[in-house]
Structure 1
Amino acid sequence: MIPDITQKQQQQIFLVARRYQVGLVGHSIVYWAGHYAKKSGWGEHLGLDTSMDIHWLARQGMMWPSLLLRLQNSVLQFGFPDAIVIQLGENDIPASKGVALQNSMRDDLKLLRCKMPKTKLFWSCLLERRTWRNAVALARVNKARSKVCRSAARLVLSMGGDVIPHVDLSHALPALFLPDGVHLSDWGQDIWLHDVRHALLQWLCGPH
C-alpha cells in the first residue's frame, strides 16, 4: 500500500528541480481517463504541472502484446520516461490462458526493465469489471484476473517498482461503471485518477 502524503511532502513537490516525464499507458480505462482529466478539474497533468509532463499513451481495445511497441514509439517521440504507469491486461484475460498471459507479462516487463533501467515502473492493478466480454464463466475470469494481477505486481515490486491497488473500484458498486459494466463512470474515473495521482506524488516526494 502507498502511504498518505503529509503536508510537508506536498510542499516539497514545488521544490522539484526539473520536470519529470511520465507515461500512462493502457487501454480504454486510460484513454477515457485522459479525456476526462483534460476537460475536468484534474487537468492534463493531474495538477502536477510544475513537476511533470504526463503523456497519455492509450488506445481503445489495447491488449498486452502492444505494450512494448507503444512504449518504443513513445520513446522516439518524447525520449525515455522517468516513470511509466501500466494499466493493461484486462482485455487479454477472457481469451488467454492465465499461465500464458503471466509468462508473457513477465518476459515483457523484464525486457522493459532491461531497456529502461532508470525508469520507475508502476503496476496499476487490473480492474474488476461487472461484465467481461466474451467470457463464458464469470467466476473463472475474475479468479484469473486476481492471479495474473498478483503475479505482475510481485514482479514489478521485485524490480523496484510500485503497485497502485485501486481498492475502492469494486464491481459491487454499479455507480462506478457505465451501463456496459466495463468502462468507468465519472465517479469511477475520479477514483482511478486519484489513485494514480497519489502514487505519482509519493514518488515525487521520495529519492530519485
Structure 2
Amino acid sequence: MRWSGVFHRFYEELSTQRPPDILLVHAGGNNLGLMSDQELALDIKRDILQLHQHFPSMTIAYSCINERKVWRNGPPGKINRDRKTVNTLVRNAVGNFGGVVIEHPLLRFFNNSLFLPDGVHFTEEGNRIFLSNIQAALKKILQ
C-alpha cells in the first residue's frame, strides 16, 4: 500500500468502530522513488500530526521503513538514503507529541537469510525479527 491509502483506509475502518488505543503505522516504503524523500516525510508527518490532533488519547506508533534487498522504484543507494531521511524526519515528528518509534536495526539488506528471493518480503526469520520489534514496542506502550 502507498502512503496516500493508509489514512483513507483508517478512516474507512473507523466509520464502524471507535478509534483504537494504539495505532501502529508501517507504511511509506512503497512510495520511495516515486516522490521526493522530503515530500513523503512531510505527507507522513502531516497525516500523523492530524491524527494525533483528532485522537489525542490514541498512541501512535511509527514503525520505521526497514532496509530491503530490492527497491522497485530507483537505484538502491539513493532509495536507501531517502529511506533514512524519511525515517529521521518522521521519528522527530512522532517524538514531539509522545508517539512511539519502532526501529528495525537487525533487518539488514545484505543478510540473505532475512529476505525471500524477491528481496522485499521477509523469510520466516526476517518476519520473526520484524514482529519481535513490534511486539516489544507494544509491550512497552501497554506497561
Q: Same fold (TM over 0.5)?
A: yes
Richer in helix (by share): 2
Q: Which protein shows a greater Rg?
A: 1
Match of 1:198 among 130, 136, 143: 136
C-alpha separation between the residues in 2 aligned to 1:145 and 1:95?
12
C-alpha separation between the residues in 1 aligned to 2:92 and 2:73?
28
C-alpha separation between the residues in 2 aligned to 1:188 and 1:166?
10
Note the alpha carbon deviations across 1:121-159, whole angstroms, 9 max, x for none: 111010101000131x22111100000111111111111
C-alpha separation between the residues in 2 aligned to 1:188 and 1:168?
9
Match for residue 6 of structure 2? Answer: 67
Gapped regions of structure 2 (runs ≥ 5): none
Match for residue 120 of structure 2? Answer: 182
C-alpha separation between the residues in 2 aligned to 1:160 and 1:105?
16
Match for residue 131 of structure 1? Answer: 70
- 1:121 has 2:82 as partner: no
Q: Normalized against structure 1, the TM-score is what? A: 0.67
Q: Is the 8 A contact 2:64 2:101 kept in 1?
A: yes
Note the alpha carbon deviations across 1:148-198, whole angstroms, 9 max, x for none: 111111111111111110111111101100100001111111111111111
Identity %: 29
Gapped regions of structure 1 (runs ≥ 5): 1-61
Match for residue 17 of structure 2? Answer: 78
Please report the RMSD computed on the Cα atoms of aligned residues, expressed in angstroms: 1.0
C-alpha separation between the residues in 1 aligned to 2:105 and 2:77?
19
Richer in strand (by share): 1
Query: What is the CA distance between 1:98 and its match in structure 2?
Result: 1.2
Amino acid at match of 1:99: Q
- 1:108 has 2:108 as partner: no
Match for residue 173 of structure 1? Answer: 111
Query: What is the CA distance between 1:115 and its match in structure 2?
Result: 1.3
Note the alpha carbon deviations across 1:8-36, whole angstroms, 9 max, x for none: xxxxxxxxxxxxxxxxxxxxxxxxxxxxx
Q: How many residues align?
A: 143
Q: Normalized against structure 2, the TM-score is what? A: 0.96
